[in-house]
Chain A
Amino acid sequence: KNQVEQSPQSLIILEGKNCTLQCNYTVSPFSNLRWYKQDTGRGPVSLTIMTFSENTKSNGRYTATLDADTKQSSLHITASQLSDSASYICVVRTPSGNTPLVFGKGTRLSVIA
């Protein structure tokens, strides 16, 4: 069964600290993996997208890694800011048409002063 598991479920960190969110997946075949940021009550916004051959991609203070062999990805946030407080969702796509996204349940990150 295609699944995406994220950990931790929630996380609280102090402003300025770094953190790493984890994503493990069993989706097969694999096309790409995306990380989304979803502010409370808003739609998700894409942060990064990585294909099989890419193992690191950065977007400002966000750096995503992908290990396609172990089927693991991480999202590292550097020098966190209060505005980073949000849910971070890992999504894996299979190459099977237009509907093939498998969503994780997300990690709820709270950055406090």
Chain B
Amino acid sequence: SQTIHQWPATLVQPVGSPLSLECTVEGTSNPNLYWYRQAAGRGLQLLFYSVGIGQISSEVPQNLSASRPQDRQFILSSKKLLLSDSGFYLCAWGQGSKNIQYFGAGTRLSVL
């Protein structure tokens, strides 16, 4: 069966520090991979998606970047965090005609 792992679960970082969140998927190959952010009291916002190794599409301009160095690995990064980067970050994978998306457990990021 397929599983998705996302870590860390919580992270507290100072403003201006770098960020690296990692997501890996097991039990499938060539999945579509997604990074979302969920601000408090708001809906999910798609940040990046990837349909293959090295292929990254950005949905919104921002302080973040994403990379997909391996088929089932998706990384969210920042060189210098801003206060506004605080939020709940979710990784998801999808596949097939309906592209049902399965979410990781999320990372709670607090930038202070």
Contacts and interface: CB of A to CB of B under 8 A. Distances in A.
Contacts of A98: 32, 49, 51, 94, 99
B108 A106 contact: no
Interface residues of B, number: 27
B100 to A, nearest CB: 6
Contacts of B92: 43
Contacts of A99: 34, 46, 49, 57, 59
Interface size, A (range): 20 to 34
B90 interface: yes
A93 B32 CA distance: 15
Given A89-B43, A103-B44, A106-B43, A41 B57 contact: no
B31 to A, nearest CB: 11
B44 A41 contact: no
B79 to A, nearest CB: 25
A4 B94 CA distance: 21
B29 to A, nearest CB: 16
B105 interface: yes
B102 interface: yes
Contacts of A41: 88, 106, 108
B43 A105 contact: yes
Interface of B: 6, 32, 34, 41-46, 49, 51, 57, 59, 88, 90, 92, 94, 98-106, 108
13 contacts: A4-B43, A43-B104, A46-B100, A49-B98, A49-B100, A51-B98, A98-B32, A98-B94, A99-B49, A101-B101, A103-B43, A105-B41, A106-B43
